[in-house]
Structure 1
Amino acid sequence: MKQELQHRFVRLLASATDRGVLTWEKRVGNCYQSVKPSQSYHLRWLYWYAPSGITIDRQGIVISTGQLDIPFFSGTTGMAEARKLLEKIDASWTAHHSRIDEKCRLFITQNSSFSKANIMSQSSLIFLSQLLLATKNGSIRWSYNELNPNSFYTEFMNHAIVIDLLQPIDSHETPLGNLVAKVTLPGATIAFACGTDGFFTIEEILASSFPEFHHRFERTMNEYQSAIDALTKLIH
């Protein structure tokens, strides 16, 4: 549901931009801004940084309006929607994205099989689904790590499971919230970026376990719907 609202919001922004209802100005650092009397919208790139402080690369796009920040990461369907919006705002990005896609296609043949990758991806999501079910039916209980409020742990099928919420920073070294969830289980660590099915499942696990996460989840859903209503009213 949350993912659908995010995608709908971005598609509405793209439609408003395409119709000329919204016009955008380029700001410093490949950021864009559209200001209307009743609402303003901002789009900026999200960069990952190595512990040394060196910029790794652009890894996502953050779209903001009011108190709402919506991040979309590379490799997600949400990023594909955000990319379409960016290309409508600034057509120069179309050539950039096409060049990247072309380079990737050089490594893909008609006989390529992605079954192993699909199985790996599916197995992690199946694991999270089982974890969510066990959380909801009360079979397992989650606890805070006393030394780290963004770390949570439980025991599942006699094994320790840990969820850590990570906060990347933008180019101004401003924390952007919990945008990555890292799950540690015996012998494996899996990271899920915001906007992926895995991240949404982890959000649901935490919302089912801790009242503050539940309230935050509900508040965010209401903010998404309010932003969509405002855009729909603007377009029509």
Structure 2
Amino acid sequence: MRLVQNSLHQEVADTLREQIFDGLLAPGSFVDEVALCERLEISRTPLREALKVLTSEGLLRHEPRRGCFVNEVTEQDLDEIFPVIALLEGRCAYEAARNATDADLVELTALHERLDAHAQAGRITDYYATNFAIHEAIILLANNRWLAQAIADLRKILKLSRLQSLGAPGRLAQSLSEHMTVFAALKSRDSEGAEAAMRTHLTRQREALRELARSQRSRFAS
């Protein structure tokens, strides 16, 4: 697999990032620079620049005299990240309620109708995709690039956990209800209500992930 020379280290970073998110580079695993150089047909220089990028993003950690390892997200990490991302996305919902036009609300209506249809049919993968699209639409409506960047950075770390909150019992219906509450506030141009509802949504997502992790530990222990 030969990558083009333009912005090579960034292309390498993009490739490795996707492999991390896909689980091909597992949490805690050692990043073998020699093997990667051979597989990607590149020299050490662009690879090491790429590793610096991923380390700065929190996806890798560098250990002196040992090299790079894929980061592992702990329960403490999740406990610390979710309150922050809840604040950030809550602020996005606040701004979105102020900025949304009638046309924007029409588009959001279609997305929420799709979300509801996926939930009723139990189409989890489609629900996740539409859920993501709704969050992205609200972030876009907030029109604050600093909020968007901070949320994007934190999402990269959260993806390392590879846990999906909808796996928790009852979470699908709960998630749908939370989204509808956020949307109702947006339609009413209720900034504070939208902010509070979004923060509740993210807080309950963390609670669902905690319950899911507890259930998995219990299964492994039995």
TM-score by length of 2: 0.30
TM-score by length of 1: 0.29
Determine which structure has greater relative contact order: mean sequence separation of CA pairs < 8 Å that are 6+ residues apart, divided by chain length. Answer: 2
Please state which structure has a larger fraction of its residues in strand. Answer: 1
Please state which structure has a larger fraction of its residues in helix. Answer: 2
